[in-house]
Amino acid sequence: MVLFSLAWHSLKNRKLTTGLTVISIALSVALLVGVEHVRIGARDSFANTISQTDLIVGARGGSLQLLLYSVFHIGSATNNVQYTSYEHFKNHPAVAWTIPYSLGDSHRGFRVVGTTEDFYTHYRYRHDRKIEVSEGHSPDGPFDVVLGSDVARTLKYKIGDRIVVTHGISQGLGLLQHDDKPFHVTGILARTATPVDRSLYVSLYGIEAMHMDWADGGPPLPGEETPASKIRKEDLKIKQITAFLLRSKSRIDTLRLQREINTFEDEPLMAIIPGVALAELWNTIGYAEEALTVVTFFVLVVGLLGMLVSLYTSLNERRREMAILRALGAGPRKVIFLLVLESFLLSLAGTVFGIAVVYSGAFLSQPIVERRFGLFIPITAPTPTGYVYLCTVIAAGLLIGFVPAVKAYRNALADGLSIRV
Amino acid sequence: MEGASPSAAERAAGIPFMPSSISVKSAVCLQDVRFSYRKNRPVLDIPTLTIGQGESVFVYGPSGSGKTTLLGLLAGILRADSGSIQALGHDLSRMSSSQRDHFRGSHIGYIFQMFNLIPYLTVEENIGLPCRLDSARRQRLGGTPLHQAVIQVAGRLGIESLLKENVVNLSVGQQQRVAAARSLIGTPWLVIADEPTSALDSDHRERFVELLFENCRTAGSTLIFVSHDRSLMHLFTRSVSLPELNRVH
C-alpha cells in the first residue's frame, strides 16, 4: 500500500514533531486510562474494605451510622447489643461465623476495639485477605493489646510496651483514663490499608475488665477499684457488645437472617449488607471521580488539538509535496487519505504507547501505591469504558485528520501544478 | 484508493494511440480552449494547437504568459472553460477529475522547475513512485520488476549510483535528473517539462535537454518543454510562442 508507506516515511521524516505529538497523545491516553484504573481500584478497594461479611448487626439506628462505626470506626453507636442477643445469632443454624465488636474506648485518638479470636480467624478484606499478626501474637489475657500497623508506626510502639486506654473517644489524653488497668502490647498487625490499621485490638474481656466496678457510666472511687493483677478471665462476664459481623451459610440465608434480625423481638436490632451500604456511601462521596474523568477528557482534547496544530502547521511546508503527488496522478482523495492516514497513525501510536505507559506504570507503582495509599490498582485488561475511551481517541484522531486534509486538498486545487514554496 | 471507474483507466491504458478526427498524427490537439481562474479574467484563449506524436516542442513565453496554466490543462489538473483538449484519443475537457487524475498518472510524466522530489523518500523510491501510485503505469513496465525498471531508467540518465541516496543530499542538477527519470519511467506517452533547467547552469542545461531528448526518442514519448529562456530553442525542431498563440493579452 503505497499511501501507507508514504504516510509512514513522511511521519518518520518529521521525527521531532511526530515524536512530540505521539508523546502528547500517549500521555493523554495514559492519564485517561490510568484515571479509569485508579477509579476502579479505588472503588474496588473501598467496596472491599470488608469482605465476606454478609451482614453487619448493631442496635437499631441509621444504616450509614452503623457502617461508619463498625467498619470505618468513625462516630459512635447510640446503643449496644445485649450479649445474649449476640449469642442467639452466633448459634443460629444459618450462621457460619460471627465477629463481635465492642467499641467506645480509644488510645490517643485511635479506637480500641474489643473482639475475639474470631476476628483473626474470619475477618477478610479485599476479597480474601485475612488479618495477619506480623509481630508477636493475638491477645491472650484480658490486658493484652494488638496494634494496627498505623497505630504502631505513628506512636512508635513495640511489643512489650505498656499503654493506657482512654474512656470514650478523644484525641490525645481524655478526661477519664483507664490508668489503673494498663495494657501491654503483645502483637502488631500487618498492614491492610483499611481502617483496621488505625485501631487497637483487645479481647472482649479486656473491655469488660477496664469497666469493672463502673457504675452509672462513671468510674469507681479511687481505692475501690479491683486491681488489674487480681482480675482473671473467668471472673469476667461479658454483658454487651456494640456490633457484630456475620457470615451466613448461603446467600438465601443472608436475606432471611436480615429480616429475622430486623424483626428480632428481644431487642431493637438492625442488619445491613455491607456491600450495598458501601456502594451507597461511595456514590455519595464518589463525585470526585467524575470530576477527575472530566479533567482527563480535557487533557485528551488538548492532546488531540496538539496533533491538529502540528499537522496543520506542517501543511504549508508540504504544499510542494502535495503538488508533486498531484502531478504523479494522485487525486484529491488520495491526498486527503494520506493526511487522514497520518493522523490516524499518530493517534494509534499515541494510544498504543499510552497503554504501554499505563500498564508499565501500574506494574511498577502497584506495590508502592498499595503500601502508601491503600489503593490496589488492578492490572487487568481495559474495562469496557476503557475500550470506549481508546476507540474514542483513535476515532477522534481520524476525524481531526480531515481538517488538515481538506485544507491540503484546497491548497492542491488552488496550487494546481505551480509550486509555492 | 482511487475509486474511479476502472473502465476509464483501462481504456486509457489499453489504447496506446487512437487517431483523432482532427489529425491522424496528432498527440495533443487543442481547439478554442479558454480558461480563467476567475470569472471575466481570462488567462488563456488558444484557437488551435496541435502537437504530433513523438514530437519535441519548445513552448516559450515570458513569466505570466500562462505557460504553467497551459501545462495544467494538458496534464488534466485544470479543466478548460470551453473548447476541447484531445489527448490520446480522449477529450480531457469531458473527463471527470478522477478520470483525469488517472490519465495523468498513467500517461504523463511531469518535471517541475525545481523541488521535484519527495524529500523523505530515497532516489529509488522517488523514481518508482508513479508506478506505485498508478497501477496502469506499472502495467506499462511490461512485466519488468519495478526495481529493475528503476535501475534501467536511472542508468539512462547516469544516476544509477545515486539510487540509495537521500534526495536532500543531491545537487540541483542531480535532482533534475532524478525528476526526469521519474517522469520517464513506464514510458509515458507525454512528458511535460515546466522550466526544468532554470536552476541549472548553461553547460548542464544543454546536457540535460539532450538527455531528455534521447530518452523521449527511445521511449517514443512526446515532449512538451516550456521555458522563458530562448537559448535552448535551437535544440528543438519546433517551437511555439505562447504570447503569439494566446489571444488573451
The per-residue pLDDT for range A299-327, each reduced to its tens digit, is 888 878 887 887 788 777 777 888 888 88
Chain A residues within an 8 Å CB radius of B125: 9
Question: Of B3, B110, B118, which has the smallest distance from its Cβ to A321's Cβ?
Answer: B118
Residue A54 pLDDT greater than 90, yes or no: yes
Q: Is A421 exposed, middle or buried (0-12, 13-18, 19+ CB in 10 A)?
A: exposed
The amino acid occupying position A229 is S
Where does the pLDDT of residue B25 fall: very low under 50, low under 70, confident under 90, or very high at 90 and above? low
Chain A residues within an 8 Å CB radius of B6: none
Mean pLDDT of A107-127: 91
Q: How many CA atoms lie within 13 A of A415 on its CB side?
A: 23
Q: Taking the C-alpha atoms of A155, A159, A164 and A168 in order, what is their torsion angle to the nearest 10 degrees?
A: 70
Residue-level pLDDT at A418: 65
- Across the interface, whether the CB atoms of B121 and A9 are under 8 A apart is answered yes
Which set of grid coordinates corresponds to residue A10? Answer: 513522511
For A134, other C-beta atoms within 10 Å of its C-beta total 11
Residue A360 pLDDT greater than 80, yes or no: yes
Question: Of A3, A324, A333, which has the smallest distance from its Cβ to B118's Cβ?
Answer: A324
- Distance, in Å, from the CA atom of B113 to the CA atom of B199, rounded to the nearest integer, reads 7
Rounded percentage of chain B residues whose pLDDT exceeds 70? 90
- Across the interface, whether the CB atoms of B120 and A330 are under 8 A apart is answered no
Question: Of B77, B104, B120, which has the smallest distance from its Cβ to A9's Cβ?
Answer: B120
Query: Nearest residue on chain A to B179, judged by CA atoms?
Result: A324
- Across the interface, whether the CB atoms of B2 and A334 are under 8 A apart is answered yes
- Write the DSSP symbol of residue A51: B
CA distance B76 to chain A (A): 9
Looking at per-residue confidence, does A178 or A87 come out higher? A87
CA distance B132 to chain A (A): 6
ipTM of the prediction: 0.80
Looking at per-residue confidence, does A85 or B207 come out higher? A85
Residue-level pLDDT at B9: 42
How far is CA B202 from each of CA A69, B37, B113, B149, B173, rounded to the nearest angstrom? Answer: 96, 34, 15, 30, 11
Chain A residues within an 8 Å CB radius of B106: 329
- Rg of chain A over all Cα atoms, to the nearest angstrom: 32
Rounded percentage of chain A residues whose pLDDT exceeds 70? 94
B241: left (phi over 0), alpha (psi -120 to 50) or beta: beta
- Distance, in Å, from the CA atom of B195 to the CA atom of B111, rounded to the nearest integer, reads 8
Lowest mean pLDDT among A2-11, A40-49, B146-155: A40-49
Lowest mean pLDDT among A31-35, A99-103, A217-221, A382-386: A217-221
* pLDDT tens, residue by residue, B45-54: 999 999 988 8
Contacts of A268 (CB under 8 A, 6+ apart): A59, A60, A79
B137 touches chain A (CB under 8 A): yes
Query: Nearest residue on chain B to A9, judged by CA atoms?
Result: B120
Within chain B, strands assigned E span 26-38, 41-52, 56-60, 82-87, 90-91, 108-111, 190-194, 222-227, 238-241
Q: Which of residues 48-77 of B touch A (CB under 8 A)?
A: 68-69, 71-72, 75, 77
Query: Nearest residue on chain A to B100, judged by CA atoms?
Result: A329
Where does the pLDDT of residue B58 fall: very low under 50, low under 70, confident under 90, or very high at 90 and above? very high
Where does the pLDDT of residue B8 fall: very low under 50, low under 70, confident under 90, or very high at 90 and above? very low
Query: Of the segments A91-105, A204-218, A380-394, A405-419, which one has the largest average pLDDT value?
Result: A91-105
Query: Nearest residue on chain A to B113, judged by CA atoms?
Result: A419
CA distance B50 to chain A (A): 22
- Across the interface, whether the CB atoms of A327 and B4 are under 8 A apart is answered no
* pLDDT tens, residue by residue, B96-141: 888 888 898 889 998 888 778 888 899 999 999 999 888 888 888 8
* pLDDT tens, residue by residue, A195-205: 899 999 999 98
Quote the mean pLDDT of chain B.
83
For B62, other C-beta atoms within 10 Å of its C-beta total 9
Looking at per-residue confidence, does A316 or A275 come out higher? A275
Residue B10 pLDDT greater than 50, yes or no: no
Mean pLDDT of A151-171: 86
- Across the interface, whether the CB atoms of A416 and B106 are under 8 A apart is answered no
* pLDDT tens, residue by residue, A250-273: 988 999 999 999 999 999 999 999
